């Protein structure tokens, strides 16, 4: 299993921030959320809508509908390295 088993779609935002927006695969959402919640340091919780914090040293916002925004990674290569760490191949 690798991150491709958990992440269904990756979009990047326009603007200088170049955040990445990840959509988790519905069939693996539960497993992926459990992994994210296990390693995420939460700084701010906004109702039942989102959690802002840090994920393996990367600024992240996790949404209850299974979307994840990652900030400051800069490039697709960095993103993929990050996802390799978040969802290590078993």
Where do contacts with other proteins occur on this chain (CB under 8 A)? 13-17, 19, 21, 44, 46-47, 49-50, 52, 61, 63-65, 67, 69, 71
Q: Which residues pair with 21 in a beta bridge?
A: 11, 69
Shortest approach of other proteins to residue 60 CB, angstroms? 11
Rank residues 13 and 41 by Cβ distance to other proteins and give the closer one.
13
Number of residues in the chain: 90
Rank residues 1 and 49 by Cβ distance to other proteins and give the closer one.
49
Shortest approach of other proteins to residue 70 CB, angstroms? 11
* Residue 85 CB contacts under 8 Å (≥ 6 apart), including other chains: 56
55: helix, strand or coil: strand
Shortest approach of other proteins to residue 77 CB, angstroms? 21
Integer angstrom CA distances of residue 6 from 22, 28, 51, 58? 10, 6, 19, 18
């Amino acid at each position: 299993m690798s991150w491709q088993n958990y992440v269904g779609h990756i979009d990047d935002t326009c603007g200088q921030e170049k955040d990445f927006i990840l959509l988790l695969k519905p069939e693996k959402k539960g497993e992926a959320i459990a992994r994210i919640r296990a390693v995420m340091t939460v700084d701010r919780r906004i109702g039942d809508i989102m959690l802002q914090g840090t994920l393996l040293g990367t600024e992240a916002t996790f949404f209850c509908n299974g979307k994840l925004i990652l900030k400051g990674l800069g490039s697709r290569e960095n993103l993929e390295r990050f996802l390799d760490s978040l969802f290590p191949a078993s």
